[in-house]
Structure 1
Amino acid sequence: MFWQAVGAARDLSRAQDIAGVLIRYGFGDMVRRLGMADALGKAGKVLHWQVPDEFARLEPAARARRALEDLGPTFVKLGQILATRVDLFAPEWIDELSKLQDAAPAVPFEAVRAQLTEDLGEAPETAFAELNTEPLAAASLAQVYRATLHDGREVVLKVRRPGIRPTVEADLRLLTRLAEIIDADMPELHRYHPQAVVREFAVSLRRELDFAAEGRSAERIRSHFADHADIVIPAIHWQWSGERLNVQDYIAGIPGRNLAAVDATGLDRRQLARRGAEAVLKMTLEDGFFHADPHPGNVFYLPGNRIAFIDFGMVGRLSEARRYEVASLMHGLVSGDSETVANILLDWRDSEDLGADTDPARLHNEIDTFVDQYKGVPLKRLSLSGMLADLVAILRDNRLTLPADLALLIKAFISLEGMGRQLDPDFDMAGEAAPYLERTMIAHQSPAALARRGWRAARGAADLLTGLPQDLSQLLRAAKRGKLRVEVEVLPLKHFGDRIDRAVSRLTVGIVTAALIIGTSIVMTVAGDGLLAGLSTYALLGFLGAVIGGVWLLLSIRRSNKE
């Protein structure tokens, strides 16, 4: 099965690598069910399905993380995307996937020089006054070097790894085919929406490969904080930046993980926690364009209790309507309005969600019970991340999933509160969020916002009215010509009709097969030119036709039973 799905020989070697890693970490059964064992067999490899003792003792989530690490950069990125889907995976899986580190052995500078020269339009030593050829960091998609401009400013060069795009595209093709096979043959995994997740991941990864897009995201967020001196976003030097190279200001600060250095330099932890929270809340609830991965590795602390954000490869977007829904949801959680919370969650569910038939009454009851436990609790004693995690658990239990933009938002909030509490154990995320929630809700009902929505509605109504005469004219002309058709689709009847159609097809094949068997038996009694075991030509053809029809009938019944 997998061999036919892969099709192109160029991906076979990578398919063998994937199957080998999955087997090594104890996912041999999945390999067999996906048909990947056949792919390896065709390549002449011998499979040993035993799992090493050290892997057998690991929990499934830990084995999955180790397997993703061994599969390389594309799969590490996939794991990082999956770590944002708190609505799909249990907390132990999210915790394990969050440990995936985007690191890789550095490529020698000589292997990067030709590409760097092509992107700069001149030799690196000419473009910069100084260039340190030892990388500051090496990740799966890029390496970072430090340099000095001729005017004395220090910058960093984020260089895409040479030849990484073909590898990523091959992995994405394989992942797309794997997702299709999983959807078709592993119904127990449908709730994880493999094809939708892979589509979302492919879009995200291709965007990360485009460093110019990352630069535009950084510049957009930098413009939003133009009047906030306490938030620093590095400037992009566009004269050298492009798809494969991003040149930006160097940030000399304390990495977010080094809390000991924060204390040693006398920075105010509480002030840092508040400013970081205010920055992320402004990005999400006011600007609608936010850094989707604000973990300590992407944050630096600067003198004067300032905060710098870097790495805008993963960003999220929230429309004005979505921001109002988020504010209403969180306000409903804090105020105990379970009806509002349940209605918003039902509106958010994915249109392809397997939970589309979720019982609203059951969901309302669970939300009501959940919200009731927080009634009367002061804001400073609320854990916003804990509330969101419990809420997402209810979604999982009801087999509901969130749109990708909201999953990113919830993950960002959870990461933000974790960072804030590391800086200040008394950090009050709910209290910090309350003013932004109020401003978002007030702004949605402001005269300007109402006028803007009213104008859009009026313009839409006007377009509808002005086009109505023409639409009616076309409708009447179609009716006069006898070409007017009305189609009504009733899904239960359609499914019933499909089942009858399949049953009739099987009955027909069964009758034809039986007729062939009887006809063959009669022909066998007539002397003819023997071909095989004394059978005549017509007898042999009839026998083969009966066998083919019977096999098709058995396979069709088996496939229907699976469905």
Structure 2
Amino acid sequence: MDEHPDHTARLKHILSVFADNGFGYFLEKVDLNTSIPLTQRLFQKNVHQIPLPERVRRTLEALGPTFVKFGQVLSTRPDLIPLDFIKELTKLQDQVKPFSYHLVEARIQHDFQKPIHQLFKAFDKEPLASASLGQVHRAKLKTGEDVIVKMLRPGIKKTLQEDMDILHYLAEKVEKHFPKLRFYNFKGFVDEFEQQLRRELNYKNEARFIDRFKKNFADDPTVVVPQVHWKYTTEQILTMEYLEGIKITELTGNKKKLGRFDKKSIATHFIQSMFKQIFDHHFFHADPHPGNIMVTKDQKLVYLDFGMMQEVDEELDEYLENMFLALLQKDAKALTEEVIRYDGAEKPINEKELLKDVQKLMGEYGSRELGDINLGRAVQELTDLNVKYEAQIPKEAFMLGKALGTVQGICRELDPGFNVGQALNPVMQDLLKKRLQPSYITHRLAKSVMKFWKTTRNVPRRLDKILRRAEQG
């Protein structure tokens, strides 16, 4: 992307914010320093006493919704950025004001061709919450049901598209001027981010995710999922059942008024529900932070905000199961083999050195009880090894690692004596039972035979090429 006339002003503003936060050197390295005013280049603000991760967070917040969302997604990728940056980016806050009620009325009139009073018996003018992409209002349908109405921010699609063009441009600049960073494939990450953003900009996608999630937990007495009201849902408006509850973090501490809650059971149900999503449903909530989890008065878990959901395909399912079992059983060899089996990089991995590093890592965990293992930390340390050996592993594994780390952290706040090993023991037993079932064994065997056949049928062609090259000298 060149400096398109429509984007020039926005690009210059973005670069100016980077410079104000002490990134003038970076702009010079990527040949963009001439795009900011000379006076700003000569008299840069002295901000270097502020830690670098904090300056990155401040920069993203100052640049608005697209960049805040970009940073939030980037915080799920420990393969791309260090842990201290991840911790800082999890603090990212939307610095946006709610949009006015008359814009709410206009959107409803446009999408349903009816004024707001004909659709709703009551509609709160003040939003319950406001974020970078949209805001949420409480309302009551004519039929009497209490609902939540989530509405996309007016003009946000145009703003995001402009910013995405600029992000693609900056990613190209980074890979061009920092060749060593090409391994991290920032251009690919920006492409993935744009795809995810486009999904989130269509609330019908989120509505379908909610329906699927609700169906998955239909027989689970520990989880409740809101009902989507499709009649009042469009691409830019999502209407769903209002569920009464308190944020899960309000249960932490020794508050007498909350003494009736069995926090130990809630913690156990929370982490078990996450593993059900991964290994049973193959579809998990990738953003289970405290603001997205509530607890009802009858102690059921309520998941909210289904914009970031992740599929688990068959290959990823096998990888995650193997890694999980190897980690819990502290089997360094099995874990090493799984990294190598899944790796798709052209550069061969030094298996002996990787095994030594994994054994060292397992040695650190060996003296600990299973319940003392921090899942998020374990995934981070495994990620560091994958980066060291340039092993290609699924991005979903990183998102999962962050999600599990968040969930385990909340569980320990609920129950300081929380033992993840005890909580997950039934899950591990179910996994092992599944692997002993004849249907599972037959399926895996057939898959292995097919993979072997695909590999061996290419051998004659490869051998022929080698012999021809040998003949040609």
User: Is TM > 0.5 for Structure 1 vs Structure 2?
Assistant: yes
Greater CA drift, 98-107 or 133-142: 98-107
Is 1:27–2:23 an aligned residue pair? Answer: yes
2:98 aligned partner, one-letter code: A
| Structure 1 CA distance for aligned equivalents of residues 279 and 220 of structure 2 | 17
After TM superposition, give the deviation of residue 90 of structure 1 in Å: 1.9
Structure 1 pair 442–320 and aligned structure 2 pair: CA distance change class (3 A)? farther
Is 1:231–2:260 an aligned residue pair? Answer: no
CA contact (8 A) 1:296 1:419 kept: yes
Aligned to 1:284: 278
| Structure 1 CA distance for aligned equivalents of residues 42 and 75 of structure 2 | 28
Structure 1 pair 458–56 and aligned structure 2 pair: CA distance change class (3 A)? closer
Aligned to 1:6: 2
| TM-score, length basis structure 1 | 0.76
After TM superposition, give the deviation of residue 378 of structure 1 in Å: 3.0
Is 1:379–2:373 an aligned residue pair? Answer: no
Name segments (4+ residues, structure 1) moved above 4 Å: 260-263, 451-463, 486-490
After TM superposition, give the deviation of residue 254 of structure 1 in Å: 0.5
| Structure 2 CA distance for aligned equivalents of residues 358 and 28 of structure 1 | 37
CA contact (8 A) 1:143 1:159 kept: yes
Q: Of 26, 38, 41, which residue of structure 2 is paired with 1:48?
A: 41
| Structure 2 CA distance for aligned equivalents of residues 214 and 93 of structure 1 | 29
Aligned to 1:72: 64
Is 1:394–2:390 an aligned residue pair? Answer: no
What is the 5 A alignment of 1:96-111?
96-102=88-94, 104-111=96-103
Greater CA drift, 100-109 or 417-426: 100-109
Q: Of 185, 195, 212, which residue of structure 1 is paired with 2:177?
A: 185
Tell me the SS of whatever aligns to 1:361. Answer: helix
Aligned to 1:428: 419
Structure 1 pair 61–188 and aligned structure 2 pair: CA distance change class (3 A)? farther
Aligned to 1:558: none
1:167 aligned partner, one-letter code: T
What is the 5 A alignment of 1:253-402?
253-259=245-251, 263-265=256-258, 266-349=260-343, 351=345, 356-375=347-366, 377-402=368-393
User: Higher relative contact order by CA 8 Å / sep ≥ 6: 1 or 2?
Assistant: 2
Task: Please give the root-mean-square deviation of Cα atoms over the aligned residues, in Å.
Answer: 2.9
| Structure 1 CA distance for aligned equivalents of residues 33 and 369 of structure 2 | 57
User: Deviations 1:288-321 (Å, cap 9, x if unpaired)?
Assistant: 1000011100001111211100000001111233
| TM-score, length basis structure 2 | 0.90
CA contact (8 A) 1:210 1:244 kept: yes
Is 1:206–2:203 an aligned residue pair? Answer: no
User: Deviations 1:177-201 (Å, cap 9, x if unpaired)?
Assistant: 2111211111243343211211111
2:294 aligned partner, one-letter code: F
After TM superposition, give the deviation of residue 441 of structure 1 in Å: 4.0
Structure 1 pair 296–489 and aligned structure 2 pair: CA distance change class (3 A)? farther
After TM superposition, give the deviation of residue 401 of structure 1 in Å: 5.0
Aligned to 2:79: 87
CA contact (8 A) 2:18 2:24 kept: yes
Aligned to 1:443: 434
Greater CA drift, 150-159 or 321-330: 321-330
After TM superposition, give the deviation of residue 85 of structure 1 in Å: 0.7
CA contact (8 A) 1:334 1:374 kept: no
Q: Of 171, 178, 188, which residue of structure 1 is paired with 2:163?
A: 171
User: Deviations 1:71-94 (Å, cap 9, x if unpaired)?
Assistant: 111111110111101223222111
1:410 aligned partner, one-letter code: G
Larger Rg: 1
| Structure 2 CA distance for aligned equivalents of residues 457 and 359 of structure 1 | 24
| Structure 1 CA distance for aligned equivalents of residues 394 and 173 of structure 2 | 23
Structure 1 pair 57–108 and aligned structure 2 pair: CA distance change class (3 A)? same
| Structure 1 CA distance for aligned equivalents of residues 293 and 95 of structure 2 | 17
Tell me the SS of whatever aligns to 2:136. Answer: strand
1:238 aligned partner, one-letter code: W
CA contact (8 A) 2:61 2:94 kept: no
Tell me the SS of whatever aligns to 1:246. Answer: strand
Tell me the SS of whatever aligns to 1:107. Answer: coil
Aligned to 1:403: 394
CA contact (8 A) 2:249 2:410 kept: no
After TM superposition, give the deviation of residue 351 of structure 1 in Å: 3.4
Is 1:197–2:193 an aligned residue pair? Answer: no
| Structure 2 CA distance for aligned equivalents of residues 217 and 209 of structure 1 | 14
After TM superposition, give the deviation of residue 51 of structure 1 in Å: 3.9
| Structure 2 CA distance for aligned equivalents of residues 439 and 47 of structure 1 | 61
Greater CA drift, 188-197 or 218-227: 188-197
User: Deviations 1:51-76 (Å, cap 9, x if unpaired)?
Assistant: 434x3221111100000001111111
| Structure 1 CA distance for aligned equivalents of residues 208 and 276 of structure 2 | 19
| Structure 2 CA distance for aligned equivalents of residues 274 and 222 of structure 1 | 20
| Structure 2 CA distance for aligned equivalents of residues 445 and 38 of structure 1 | 64
After TM superposition, give the deviation of residue 14 of structure 1 in Å: 1.2
Tell me the SS of whatever aligns to 2:227. Answer: coil
| Structure 2 CA distance for aligned equivalents of residues 263 and 440 of structure 1 | 39
| Structure 2 CA distance for aligned equivalents of residues 322 and 344 of structure 1 | 11
| Structure 1 CA distance for aligned equivalents of residues 389 and 334 of structure 2 | 17
After TM superposition, give the deviation of residue 214 of structure 1 in Å: 0.7
| Structure 2 CA distance for aligned equivalents of residues 461 and 360 of structure 1 | 21
Residue identity over aligned pairs, in percent, reads 27
| Structure 2 CA distance for aligned equivalents of residues 369 and 200 of structure 1 | 34
| Structure 1 CA distance for aligned equivalents of residues 343 and 61 of structure 2 | 31
Q: Of 229, 238, 250, which residue of structure 1 is paired with 2:242?
A: 250
| Structure 2 CA distance for aligned equivalents of residues 82 and 114 of structure 1 | 34
Greater CA drift, 189-198 or 409-418: 189-198
Structure 1 pair 49–72 and aligned structure 2 pair: CA distance change class (3 A)? farther
After TM superposition, give the deviation of residue 376 of structure 1 in Å: 6.0
Structure 2: any 5+ residue segments left out of the alignment? 468-473
Structure 1: any 5+ residue segments left out of the alignment? 469-483, 491-563
| Structure 2 CA distance for aligned equivalents of residues 315 and 49 of structure 1 | 46
After TM superposition, give the deviation of residue 124 of structure 1 in Å: 1.3
| Structure 1 CA distance for aligned equivalents of residues 27 and 101 of structure 2 | 38
User: Deviations 1:425-465 (Å, cap 9, x if unpaired)?
Assistant: 111223322332332343244222344456778999999xx
CA contact (8 A) 1:324 1:444 kept: no
Aligned to 2:470: none
CA contact (8 A) 1:26 1:50 kept: no
User: Deviations 1:113-170 (Å, cap 9, x if unpaired)?
Assistant: 2222122331111101000111111100001111001222110110001111011111
Structure 1 pair 110–46 and aligned structure 2 pair: CA distance change class (3 A)? farther
